[in-house]
Structure 1
Amino acid sequence: MSILEVGKLPFLRYLREKSWGEIMKTKTKILLGLGAVSFSVAAIAHVKYYYEYAFTPKHKKFIKQPTNAVEKNDPLYKEKTWFLNEEKQTWRIKSANGKYELVASYIPKAESHKTVILLHGFMSNKNSMGKYAYFFNKKGYNVLLPDAQSHGKSGGKYINYGWREKDDLIKWIDEVIGRTGSDQKIVLLEESMGAATVMMTSGEDLPDQVKAIIEDCGYSNVKDEIIHQASSVNKLPKFVNISSVDLLSAVNRLVNGYFLKNASVLKQLNKNYLPTLFIHGEKDDFVPTKMAYQNYNATRGPKELWIVKDAGHAESLSTDPKGYYKHLNDFLNKYVG
């Protein structure tokens, strides 16, 4: 291409015809546009990373990996070793959305007409609830321990913090009734995300066989809990995390069909008339202890609240086993028999 031909190119012709001031204004607009594009790309990457971190069952650095190992100095050594050695049945059902196989362990008690369903917490599995199984077995209960969707041996793609899992729990309740008879008295005991799942379930139309709820360290709202986790784990200012979670909520609406603010434990508890025992550690920094009071105030049925002195998140039983068993005994004797 000759020099004369180069001079006829549109871009060079533009440079000849425009003043320097006009060129600089255009340059500024282009740079701002490129900056906006770069920011948008960075924001999308940030939200994608954040969403996968919060909503997919990938390893989280701030969560201890579940293990079956039991130390002899563990205050719950007897309970945990009993559970590991106890013979279990395996139950399987389809998830409420029909997409995944869900798996549970079942420990029957001969001629029992009472069953407890134990639900684990975030990024854990059914075996972590074995520490409760011993107590209920000795009290004459059948024990069902499901793996939540996307946890343990159950299938799944996303973690829904209880909002979708509540529908799976209703299917497990129906499965218990179908297999063991309509004369069953069913108790729901849960920990952390499992507790939130059950409190969300409490606002649904449940079978008459469900008699009582025991929730341990459950949060009051998914959005507020994620904001709290983002602040405590990422150490970012709260207003930054609120903006990020709003974006996450919009993404979740597209992926899972609901905004995070709608996944409210409090709204569901407002429709709950079942007897409920609320338990929370005094020093819980994973799910703030204030949420226990919010949950307690929201429910409409008979209720009791126990804040366990010096207990961290999901540590109430190991912190005060004697006190824990007394509260369970008194509550169950009063409302289940």
Structure 2
Amino acid sequence: MSVMTKTAPRRTKPRVADSVFAFAIGCVATAVGVGLGLPHLMKVGADLAGVAGLGCLVAGLLLLGAGGVALVRLVPGWWRVLAVPALLAIVLVTVMALGQAVAATNVPDTSVGSRTPGSHGLEFTEVEFATADGVSLSGWYIPSANRAAVALLHGAGSTRSDVLDQAVVLARHGYGVLLFDARGHGRSAGRAMDFGWYGDQDLSAAVTYLQSRPDVEDARIGALGLSMGGEEAIGAAAADARIRAVVGEGATNRTTADRAWLSHEYGWRGTAQEGVEWLTYKATTLLTKADEPIALRAAVAAIAPRPVLLIAAGAKPDEAYADLYIQAGSPGTVQLWVVPGAAHTAGLRTDPGQWEQRVTAFFDTALG
């Protein structure tokens, strides 16, 4: 009589491919959740995009946990000590690069708010004009008293109301001012893109509108932009000679080439950051119909001999580094003012007297 013995079932290790797949999908889902869910939830609440993004984030973290643990278990011996930081580094780079790309191409709705030029005692008109690709943009126009005008561009995730203080200064010196919402922001139609890659088309349409005004001379039009708006103004002026002068405050980067100074200033850390930026912009090209624009350093060279004034935040050293790199594209035509102690785009608030004197003197000279 034979004796049947039972053996314990062998514990099978998870397949490498399954673990890698779960970890990879977890990285992507987490990045999408961070880039989509968090901005929407913080800015507009539990809308569809915010809830979907939160769902992606939760699912991504679960997959990261399951896939990451499985991968670490597959690593033999003391090599596991190296596997954990390696996997964490992959997660960090993916979230930083893809998360930024998703956030820049899936922008929450922005409200214009209740303030208008009229709140400052200024006469103004509600205006609308269309871009070459058929997008309707909305703005305010303050009439010119000196036959010159400035298109005023706001930063990412904001609207025309966020540049009202700058408009008041320009209007006080007689300039016509066109404050308009970038596409997808405020009351403008279209899909928002917070790297400013639609800036050429939007600003070109604004200049065409200004040229249609009887109070503005065609050859006396400038542009002033903050942050993303400054980058848009510089890039658009490179392709549109009708823009006779540009002021860009807080304008630093919107392409990989704009970050080439990082390795020079910060060594290996800068080189690593350049790599993350490269991944960010490459991912962005897959998520938007907009073409990647000209680098800012190349743009100022194309703008010459027309003048450019860059304004950098003294409290943000990287802004000065970035602007010095941009200025090197055309040192003879690009001025740089670093505002001591100023935060990003806070030059007017930090030193209103100097800001008014420098900016208006620049436009007075450039626009006659």
Residue 305 of structure 1, CA deviation: 1.7
Question: Which stretch of structure 1 is more off in the superposition, 134-143 or 118-127?
Answer: 134-143
Q: Which amino acid aligns with 1:211?
A: R
TM-score by length of 1: 0.73
Q: Which amino acid aligns with 1:34?
A: D
Q: Which amino acid aligns with 1:329?
A: T
Residue 165, structure 1, aligned to residue 199, structure 2: yes
Q: Match of 1:333?
A: 364
Query: Separation in 2 of the partners of 1:174 and 1:243?
Result: 39
SS in 1 for 2:244: strand
Query: Separation in 2 of the partners of 1:204 and 1:94?
Result: 18
Map 1:86-165 onto structure 2 (within 5 A).
86-98=122-134, 100-110=135-145, 112-165=146-199
SS in 1 for 2:156: coil
Percent sequence identity over aligned pairs = 21
Map 1:259-278 onto structure 2 (within 5 A).
263-273=294-304, 274-278=306-310
Query: Separation in 1 of the partners of 2:169 and 2:138?
Result: 22
SS in 1 for 2:360: helix
Residue 270 of structure 1, CA deviation: 2.1
Residue 240 of structure 1, CA deviation: 7.7
Residue 280, structure 1, aligned to residue 325, structure 2: no
Query: Separation in 1 of the partners of 2:114 and 2:257?
Result: 31
| 8 Å Cα contact 2:160-2:180 kept in structure 1 | yes
Kindly provide the CA deviation profile for residues 74-111 of structure 1, in whole angstroms up to 9, marking residues without a partner as x. xxxxxx9865443321111223432x32111101135x
SS in 2 for 1:202: helix
Residue 217 of structure 1, CA deviation: 1.4
Counterparts in 2 of 1:319 and 1:82: CA distance versus 1, 3 Å:
farther
Kindly provide the CA deviation profile for residues 172-227 of structure 1, in whole angstroms up to 9, marking residues without a partner as x. 101211233654511211111110111111211322xx321111111134448899
CA-based RMSD of the aligned residues comes to 3.4
Question: Which stretch of structure 1 is more off in the superposition, 197-206 or 44-53?
Answer: 44-53
Query: Separation in 2 of the partners of 1:203 and 1:119?
Result: 16
SS in 2 for 1:279: strand
Residue 56 of structure 1, CA deviation: 2.0
Query: Separation in 1 of the partners of 2:218 and 2:176?
Result: 13
Residue 211, structure 1, aligned to residue 244, structure 2: yes
SS in 2 for 1:187: strand
Q: Match of 1:201?
A: 236
Q: Match of 2:323?
A: 292
Q: Which residues of structure 1 form unaligned runs of 5+?
A: 1-19, 70-79, 229-236
| 8 Å Cα contact 1:55-1:158 kept in structure 2 | yes
Q: Match of 1:317?
A: 348
Q: Match of 1:191?
A: 226
Residue 266 of structure 1, CA deviation: 1.6
Q: Match of 1:15?
A: none
Query: Separation in 2 of the partners of 1:205 and 1:259?
Result: 17
**Which of 31, 54, 57 does residue 107 from structure 2 map onto?**
57
Question: Which stretch of structure 1 is more off in the superposition, 196-205 or 244-253?
Answer: 244-253
Aligned length: 285
Residue 329 of structure 1, CA deviation: 3.4
Q: Match of 2:211?
A: 177
Counterparts in 2 of 1:334 and 1:101: CA distance versus 1, 3 Å:
closer
Q: Match of 1:14?
A: none
Kindly provide the CA deviation profile for residues 116-159 of structure 1, in whole angstroms up to 9, marking residues without a partner as x. 11111111111111112222222221111011112111123231
Q: Match of 1:31?
A: 15
Residue 249, structure 1, aligned to residue 285, structure 2: no
TM-score by length of 2: 0.67
| 8 Å Cα contact 2:140-2:179 kept in structure 1 | yes
**Structure exhibiting the larger radius of gyration computed from Cα positions:** 1
Query: Separation in 1 of the partners of 2:119 and 2:329?
Result: 34
Q: Which amino acid aligns with 1:56?
A: N
Query: Separation in 1 of the partners of 2:112 and 2:188?
Result: 15
Q: Match of 1:11?
A: none
Counterparts in 2 of 1:158 and 1:35: CA distance versus 1, 3 Å:
farther
Q: Which amino acid aligns with 1:149?
A: R
Counterparts in 2 of 1:225 and 1:82: CA distance versus 1, 3 Å:
farther
Counterparts in 2 of 1:242 and 1:280: CA distance versus 1, 3 Å:
closer
Q: Match of 2:253?
A: 220
Q: Match of 1:43?
A: 27
| 8 Å Cα contact 1:115-1:184 kept in structure 2 | no
